[in-house]
């Protein structure tokens, strides 16, 4: 009977959402608002009665919507984008979040709300809606404008900081406070978790998905991707982080896959369904009486949100060196709240630290600011023109002068080759230290208690911790050795830069050598202390430790070359993933192309071992003239060659990707399969 109740509730949710969103689509309003209103219509607070029998089931489904929504945001996230957004995105996002969290907290306290309600309100107001902004800019045809690129950059930084805020808010909610030390520890652990997950993920996951993609099964690819999403979300939850963080990180990792466009296309319908349930569930929680009761706070918060975001985002963008016109456009484009605000509000309710009225207030403010977003973007030119008309010319002159000065200062900053090498090596040392920290933190968790299946000889606490410590040391040897080698290189460059031949004369080389050795020795001592400090909870007794250190030294001597090779292969794999050209996304299919390919199809053919075509160039085959089909790809020993040139030489065993109509493909495969009699 419970199954029938669940089916009834799900049918009511989706049918109502379908009718309301159809109406909103015809009215050219955001579909998200339609979902929320659909939930309000069928919710328990709307007479004559509630259409939903089991709200708990719908809430559970909505949590899947949160996971998939964050996962899809991660799919659209890309580290290469993050490296390109520059100071504008960082300053704009940081300035906005600092101002809006402070403003939200101040408003809450002014209304007499508790500290936790006020803090969560500030966090809700700090993050703009990626989904709503992207859709609004796309609908207005402004997504390719320069200011739109800056908005997208700020949204990327905001998404990252929103994840950090969710983690911090969870910690504050559970402990009641968060000291500076706790804050640093929380952020440090989060950074280690993110770095480790991203590095290992970029090495393993894209290759796994590329392997799965070879089977050309959409079902297999979708199941694998969703399995990775939910599995990593579970891992994040087990480690004390939110499932939203796990979903977002796994999405960012999968975004580097070669099949990302196909993955987005497969996941999108699943995400849309569960996201619809999520937003309908938000509407179920809205009590119209509470909205009327808190109409004044809603109005005040809405006005502060719009004005505060316009000013804070605009000022942050301007401080980064952009002109006033562009900065104001960026501020007006970011003047709303959305999905992250709902997630933060849901977190407060789940942890039972916020009042019931805060959720519907956040939804109401989001609805109003969402409706205002297209009009603010459209009217930005008029508002900017009005500002330039009423502002004193001296003020405008100073604004332009500042923009030019920052632009010249930024253009003049050029790093030398040595400086770039130092930055690169320092960054690589930091990454290796983060991975080492992650291994020892995991070892610390594992060393708390021995599993029951271990033999008694190893289950004794001190013996078990000693074994775990030794395993952690062996696992981190490649990272320790890599960090030490980068440290040696860094010390040599520093000695070269700091000891000038004009001052040291004939003793230059000797002084440089001594300085390099001193820096290396100090760094080595730091690495050893770093490892011992991380493993302090696992360290064996002193006598045993001294013996094990000798064993470790022997392992380093024996495995030095192997450790270098392992680390080098991992580094090459990571750089190969991050250096591959970005996959074009969301390319509109023009009617001309659609008509051209309407009857076309793709098929594969293998060139036989004794084929007379082996060793010949593509242009010599004249395949298009003989069959009408074309060879658009070659796979050879696992390596794919897309759109090969006319001088590409065919080899026996090549997998050929053919493009043509059904008849053309039959003729082409018959021609390629011909083999002379033995």
Q: What is the total count of domains within the chain?
A: 4
Determine how β-strand 630-636 pairs with β-strand 601-606: unpaired
Confidence of residue 296 (pLDDT cuts 50, 70, 90): very high
| Domain co-membership, 334 together with 388 | no
Q: What is the pLDDT of residues 381-411, one digit of tens each?
A: 788 788 878 888 887 787 777 777 766 555 4
| Domain co-membership, 399 together with 428 | no
| Domain co-membership, 368 together with 385 | no
Asked if residue 113 lies in contact with residue 362, where contact means CB atoms within 8 angstroms, the answer is no
Q: What is the pLDDT of residues 561-596, one digit of tens each?
A: 777 777 777 766 666 665 565 555 544 444 444 444
Q: Residue 548 has which token pair?
A: 């094990």
* Beta-carbon contacts of residue 437 (< 8 Å; ≥ 6 apart): 192, 534
Dihedral, CA atoms, 353, 354, 355, 361, nearest 10 degrees? -170
- pLDDT the model gives residue 583: 57
In a domain, 396, yes or no: yes
Asked if residue 53 lies in contact with residue 229, where contact means CB atoms within 8 angstroms, the answer is no
| Domain final position from 553, 579, 605 | 579
CA–chain centroid gap for 136, Å, is: 22
**pLDDT top residue among 177 and 228:** 228
- pLDDT the model gives residue 587: 43
Determine how β-strand 655-660 pairs with β-strand 630-636: antiparallel
Q: What is the pLDDT of residues 539-558, one digit of tens each?
A: 777 777 777 778 878 877 88
Whole-Å CA distances, 666 to 626, 629, 662, 671: 12, 9, 6, 9
| Domain co-membership, 319 together with 389 | no
The answer to whether residue 301 scores a pLDDT higher than 90 is yes
In a domain, 3, yes or no: no
In a domain, 572, yes or no: yes
Asked if residue 378 lies in contact with residue 140, where contact means CB atoms within 8 angstroms, the answer is yes
| Domain final position from 579, 613, 634 | 579
| Domain final position from 579, 602, 627 | 579
Confidence of residue 518 (pLDDT cuts 50, 70, 90): confident
Residue range 264-275: average pLDDT? Answer: 86
Domain of residue 287 covers: 65-378
CA–chain centroid gap for 221, Å, is: 20
Percent of the chain residues topping a pLDDT of 90: 6
- pLDDT the model gives residue 572: 66
| Domain co-membership, 488 together with 498 | yes
Of the candidate ranges 52-66, 314-328, 335-349, 358-372, the one whose mean pLDDT is the lowest? 52-66
| Domain co-membership, 499 together with 629 | no
Confidence of residue 442 (pLDDT cuts 50, 70, 90): confident
In a domain, 455, yes or no: yes
In a domain, 47, yes or no: no
- Residue 584 is classified by DSSP as P
| Domain co-membership, 400 together with 385 | yes
In a domain, 469, yes or no: yes
Residues 665 and 659: their CA atoms lie apart, in Å, by 7
Q: What CATH number is given to the structural domain containing 344?
A: 1.20.1530.20
In a domain, 546, yes or no: yes
Q: What is the pLDDT of residues 114-145, one digit of tens each?
A: 888 899 999 999 888 776 776 677 666 676 67
Q: Residue 619 has which token pair?
A: 């242009």
Q: What is the pLDDT of residues 51-78, one digit of tens each?
A: 777 777 777 777 788 788 878 878 877 6
Q: What is the pLDDT of residues 527-536, one digit of tens each?
A: 888 887 877 7
Q: What CATH number is given to the structural domain containing 612?
A: 3.30.70.1450
Confidence of residue 464 (pLDDT cuts 50, 70, 90): confident
* Beta-carbon contacts of residue 47 (< 8 Å; ≥ 6 apart): none
Q: Which residues partner with 649 through β-bridges?
A: 617
| Domain co-membership, 598 together with 544 | no
| Domain co-membership, 388 together with 372 | no
Q: Which residues partner with 633 through β-bridges?
A: 642, 657
* Beta-carbon contacts of residue 292 (< 8 Å; ≥ 6 apart): none
76-88 b/e with 16+ CB inside 10 Å = b? Answer: bbbbebbeebebb
Q: Among candidates 290, 239, 392, 302, which has minimal Cα distance to 103?
A: 302
611-630 b/e with 16+ CB inside 10 Å = b? Answer: bebeeeebeebebeeebebb
Whole-Å CA distances, 55 to 39, 44, 398, 562: 11, 9, 58, 57
In a domain, 35, yes or no: no
| Domain co-membership, 146 together with 210 | yes
The mean pLDDT value of the chain amounts to: 79
| Domain co-membership, 333 together with 358 | yes
Element (H, E) at 526: helix 508-534
| Domain co-membership, 199 together with 270 | yes
- pLDDT the model gives residue 227: 94
Torsion sign (Cα): 334, 369, 32, 30: negative
């Amino acid at each position: 009977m419970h199954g029938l109740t669940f089916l009834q509730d799900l049918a009511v949710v989706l049918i109502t959402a379908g009718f309301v969103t159809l109406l909103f689509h015809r009215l050219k309003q955001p579909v998200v608002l339609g979902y929320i209103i659909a939930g309000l219509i069928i919710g328990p607070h709307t007479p004559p009665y509630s259409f939903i029998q089991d709200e708990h089931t719908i809430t559970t489904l909505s949590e899947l919507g949160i996971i998939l929504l964050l996962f899809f945001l991660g799919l659209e996230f890309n580290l290469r984008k993050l490296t390109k957004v520059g100071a504008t995105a960082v300053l704009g996002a940081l300035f906005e979040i600092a101002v809006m969290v402070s403003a939200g907290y101040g408003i809450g306290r002014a209304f007499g709300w508790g500290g936790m309600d006020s803090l969560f309100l500030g966090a809700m107001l700090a993050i703009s809606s990626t989904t709503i902004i992207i859709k609004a800019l796309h609908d207005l045809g402004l997504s390719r404008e320069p200011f739109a690129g800056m908005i997208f950059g700020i949204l990327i930084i905001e998404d990252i900081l929103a994840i950090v805020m969710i983690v911090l808010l969870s910690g504050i909610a559970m402990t009641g406070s968060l000291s500076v030390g706790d804050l640093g520890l929380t952020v440090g652990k989060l950074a280690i978790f993110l770095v480790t997950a991203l590095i290992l993920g970029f090495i393993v996951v894209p290759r796994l998905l590329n392997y799965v993609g070879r089977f050309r099964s959409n079902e297999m690819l979708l199941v694998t991707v969703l399995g990775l999403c939910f599995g990593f979300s579970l891992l994040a939850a087990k480690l004390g982080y939110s499932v939203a963080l796990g979903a977002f990180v796994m999405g960012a990792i999968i975004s580097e896959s070669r099949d990302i466009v196909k993955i987005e296309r497969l996941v999108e319908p699943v995400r849309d369904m569960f996201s619809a349930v999520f937003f309908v569930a938000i509407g179920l929680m809205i009590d119209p009486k509470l909205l009327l009761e808190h109409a004044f706070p809603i109005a005040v918060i809405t006005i502060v949100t719009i004005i505060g975001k316009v000013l804070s985002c605009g000022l942050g963008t301007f401080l980064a060196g952009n002109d006033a016109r562009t900065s104001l456009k960026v501020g007006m484009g970011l003047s709303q709240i959305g999905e992250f605000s709902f997630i933060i509000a849901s977190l407060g309710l789940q942890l039972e630290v916020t009042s019931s009225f805060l959720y519907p207030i956040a939804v109401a403010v989001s609805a109003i600011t969402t409706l205002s977003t297209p009009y603010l973007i459209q009217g930005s030119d008029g508002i900017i023109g009005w500002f330039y008309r009423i502002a004193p010319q001296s003020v405008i002159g100073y604004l332009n002068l500042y923009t030019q000065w920052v632009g010249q200062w930024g253009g003049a900053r050029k790093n030398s080759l040595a400086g770039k090498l130092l930055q690169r090596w320092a960054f690589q040392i930091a990454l290796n230290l983060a991975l080492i920290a992650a291994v020892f933190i995991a070892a610390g968790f594992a060393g708390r208690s021995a599993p029951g299946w271990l033999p008694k000889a190893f289950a004794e606490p001190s013996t078990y911790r000693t074994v775990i410590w030794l395993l952690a040391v062996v696992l981190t040897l490649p990272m320790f050795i890599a960090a030490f080698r980068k440290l040696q290189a860094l010390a040599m460059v520093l000695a070269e830069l700091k000891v000038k031949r004009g001052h040291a004369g004939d003793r230059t080389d000797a002084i440089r050598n001594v300085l390099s050795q001193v820096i290396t020795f100090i760094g080595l001592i730091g690495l050893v202390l770093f490892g011992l400090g991380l493993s302090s909870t696992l360290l064996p007794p002193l006598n045993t430790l001294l013996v094990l250190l000798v064993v470790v030294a022997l392992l380093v001597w024996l495995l030095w070359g192997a450790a270098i090779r392992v680390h080098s292969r991992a580094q090459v794999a990571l750089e190969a993933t991050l250096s591959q050209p970005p996959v074009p996304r969301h390319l509109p299919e023009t009617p001309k192309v659609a008509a051209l390919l309407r009857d076309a199809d793709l098929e594969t053919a293998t060139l036989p071992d004794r084929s007379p075509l082996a060793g010949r160039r593509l242009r010599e085959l004249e395949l298009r003239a003989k069959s009408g089909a074309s060879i658009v790809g070659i796979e050879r020993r696992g390596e794919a060659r897309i759109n090969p040139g006319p001088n590409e030489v065919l080899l026996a065993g090549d997998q050929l990707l053919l493009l043509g109509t059904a008849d053309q493909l039959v003729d082409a495969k018959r021609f390629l399969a011909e083999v002379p009699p033995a």
